């Protein structure tokens, strides 16, 4: 490995490996060695070496993932893409850019904003997360309500298969013939290939942006507002919700201007042509007031808007001031079920004697309950995991899913039978083995483990009602 990438680009000392045994989830697993290539050619040589030695492989970006997606469950080789961090091409004529997987999400926007462009997917960790990880997890963010998740902004990828084969799928051209392998690899969670190059779509910056903060005494009224906006066929660029527990932690840390006595707030952003935004702003204000908002503030400057978003983007960091650690979930429910789901989350918090705060993409029903706990208390960790599983089970029963943007990883893979029938899981298994026949690439992720997906059966309705 040192001969391939250089002596300083390989880590195997125990104290160094400690830094790579975790991501943003609560899981851990230590690799046996970490290598940092600078090119696709070096990735190919590392992958071929691992194939000859029959050792497991896992790719890693910034390690900001929240589902254990980069945890090496079977040790082996971790390929870190931190040194493959170049923007290779900016093509304004075709409104796209070609980047390496280690490029930080926000750096794309910073590179093109002077020309009036930006990269739309904006995870909360966009100052740190990298494009390769975004593609692997099909990451989202607040503005995906209007613009979609990562797959809607990836035009093509270059990838290395577990035997060292390099493939290129998609491209700058639109409507290419054949199967959409670009779409297949986006969101495959590193179980099919290692992404080494990405062609991303660039978008023109909107003519006008308005940001509103709607303030409520009751979380249910904020949730009703989201359903009200949908009923009026109003699609803002973003609709984020913070409940009272969350907004107080955020305000104490960032002083973003959130009222400390509120039960919930909605952060709503409108983008587009000036005339349309002005008209939509009044419509949104009206829906908020109809649903018992006690106040609707409109950011008066770019600085005030940035401060409101700073509170939202730095929310997870704010939690760290209150709790040693936390467990964030990623369930999805229909927008009409947000109020019911919040009520259930508060019930779960009481049942397990835990503090659960909520900050989430309300516009698309992507719930992010954050469970505060002390990892040094084993019984508290166990209660936290049980609470998280109960919340996700409720999301499924409400007509939703177990993940909207964080991925399945090793955190939720054994819940997959609650979402998919055995034949569907079998087909996913067969599809993965086409690319990754011996499952050395990111083992233990996405699909159920233990008994094997064919031996696990979905819960019956009565089991779902009594399991937790």
**Looking at the predicted structure, is the pLDDT value of residue 461 above 90?**
no
Region 260-282: mean pLDDT is 97
**pLDDT tens sequence across 185-200:** 999 999 999 999 999 9
Where are the domain boundaries for CATH 3.30.70.2740 in the chain? Answer: 323-411
For domain 323-411, give the CATH number: 3.30.70.2740
* DSSP label of 178: S
Region 222-242: mean pLDDT is 95
> At 211, phi and psi to the nearest 5?
-120, 130
Region 266-289: mean pLDDT is 97
- Residue 299: which pLDDT band, with cuts at 50, 70 and 90? very high
Where are the domain boundaries for CATH 3.30.70.2190 in the chain? Answer: 208-318
For residues 283-313, b (16+ Cβ closer than 10 Å) or e, as one string? ebbebbeebebeebbebeeeebbebbbbbbb
Q: From CA 132, how far away is CA 104, in angstroms rounded?
A: 9
pLDDT given for residue 174 in this prediction: 79
Write the burial class of residue 429 (CB in 10 Å: 0-12 exposed, 13-18 middle, 19+ buried): middle
CATH number, domain 2-80, options 3.30.43.10, 3.20.20.70, 3.40.50.620, 3.90.1170.20: 3.30.43.10
Q: Across the strands, what pairs with 10?
A: 35
**pLDDT tens sequence across 139-174:** 999 998 999 999 999 999 999 999 999 999 999 987
Q: Across the strands, what pairs with 370?
A: 328, 357
The residues, any chain, with a CB within 8 Å of residue 459's CB and separated by 6 or more, are: 417, 418, 467
pLDDT given for residue 449 in this prediction: 86
The pairing of beta strand 57-60 with beta strand 77-80: parallel
- What are the Cα distances from residue 297, in Å, to 15, 263, 305? 50, 16, 11
Where are the domain boundaries for CATH 3.30.465.10 in the chain? Answer: 87-204
pLDDT given for residue 175 in this prediction: 81
- Residue 450: which pLDDT band, with cuts at 50, 70 and 90? low
Contact status, residue 103 vs residue 130, Cβ threshold 8 Å? yes
Residue of higher predicted confidence among 141 and 459: 141
**pLDDT tens sequence across 50-74:** 999 999 999 999 999 999 999 999 9
**pLDDT tens sequence across 329-377:** 999 999 999 999 999 999 999 999 999 999 999 999 999 999 999 988 9
Conformational region of residue 116, where left means phi above 0, alpha means psi within -120 to 50, and beta covers everything else: left
SS3 call for 333: coil
> At 364, phi and psi to the nearest 5?
-115, 20
**Which stretch of 77-86, 171-180, 398-407 has the lowest confidence by average pLDDT?**
171-180
**Looking at the predicted structure, is the pLDDT value of residue 455 above 80?**
no
CATH number, domain 87-204, options 3.20.20.70, 3.40.50.1360, 3.30.465.10, 3.30.2130.30: 3.30.465.10
**Looking at the predicted structure, is the pLDDT value of residue 209 above 60?**
yes
State the average pLDDT for the chain: 94
**Looking at the predicted structure, is the pLDDT value of residue 442 above 50?**
yes
**Is CATH 1.20.120.10 correct for 208-318?**
no
Region 435-444: mean pLDDT is 97
> At 116, phi and psi to the nearest 5?
85, 25
Where are the domain boundaries for CATH 3.30.43.10 in the chain? Answer: 2-80
Q: From CA 164, how far away is CA 168, in angstroms rounded?
A: 13
Contact status, residue 254 vs residue 310, Cβ threshold 8 Å? yes
């Amino acid at each position: 490995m040192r001969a391939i990438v250089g002596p300083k680009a390989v880590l195997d000392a125990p104290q160094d490996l400690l830094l790579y045994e975790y991501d943003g989830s609560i899981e851990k697993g230590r690799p046996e060695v970490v290598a940092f290539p600078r090119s696709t050619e070096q990735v190919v040589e590392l992958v071929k070496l691992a194939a000859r030695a029959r050792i497991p492989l896992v790719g890693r970006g910034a390690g900001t993932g929240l589902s254990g997606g980069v945890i090496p469950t079977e040790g082996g080789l971790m390929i870190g893409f931190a040194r493959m961090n170049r923007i290779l091409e900016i093509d304004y004529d075709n409104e796209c850019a070609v980047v390496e997987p280690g490029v930080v999400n926000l750096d794309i926007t910073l590179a093109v904003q002077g020309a009036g462009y930006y990269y739309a997917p904006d995870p909360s960790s966009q100052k740190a997360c990298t494009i390769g990880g975004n593609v692997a997890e099909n990451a989202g963010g607040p503005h995906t309500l209007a613009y979609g998740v990562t797959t809607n902004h990836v035009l093509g990828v270059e990838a290395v298969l577990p035997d060292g084969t390099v493939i290129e799928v998609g491209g700058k051209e639109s409507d290419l013939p054949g199967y959409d392998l670009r779409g297949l690899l986006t969101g495959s969670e590193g179980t099919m290939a290692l992404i080494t190059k990405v062609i991303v779509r660039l978008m023109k910056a909107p003519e006008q942006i308005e940001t509103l903060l709607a303030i409520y005494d009751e979380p249910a009224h904020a949730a009703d507002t989201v359903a009200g906006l949908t009923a009026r066929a109003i699609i803002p660029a973003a609709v984020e919700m913070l409940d009272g527990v969350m907004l107080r932690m955020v305000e104490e840390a960032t002083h973003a201007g959130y009222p400390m006595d509120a039960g919930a707030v909605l952060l709503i952003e409108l983008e587009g042509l000036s005339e349309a935004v002005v008209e939509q702003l009044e419509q949104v204000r009206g829906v908020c007031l109809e649903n018992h908002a006690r106040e609707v503030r409109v950011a008066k400057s770019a600085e005030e808007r940035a401060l409101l978003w700073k509170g939202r983007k730095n929310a997870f960091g704010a939690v760290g001031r209150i709790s040693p650690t936390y467990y964030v979930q990623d369930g999805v429910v229909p927008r009409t079920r947000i109020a019911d789901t919040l009520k259930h989350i508060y019930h779960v918090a009481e049942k397990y004697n835990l503090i659960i705060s909520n900050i989430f993409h309300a516009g698309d029903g992507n719930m992010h309950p954050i469970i505060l706990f002390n990892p040094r208390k084993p019984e508290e960790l166990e209660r936290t995991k049980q609470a998280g599983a109960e919340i996700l089970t409720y999301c499924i029963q409400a007509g939703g899913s177990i993940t909207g943007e964080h991925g399945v990883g090793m955190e939720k893979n054994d819940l997959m039978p609650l979402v998919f029938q055995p034949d569907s899981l079998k087909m996913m298994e067969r599809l993965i083995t086409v690319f990754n026949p011996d499952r050395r690439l990111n083992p233990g992720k996405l699909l159920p483990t233990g008994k094997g997906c064919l031996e696990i059966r979905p819960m019956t309705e009565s089991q779902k009602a009594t399991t937790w």
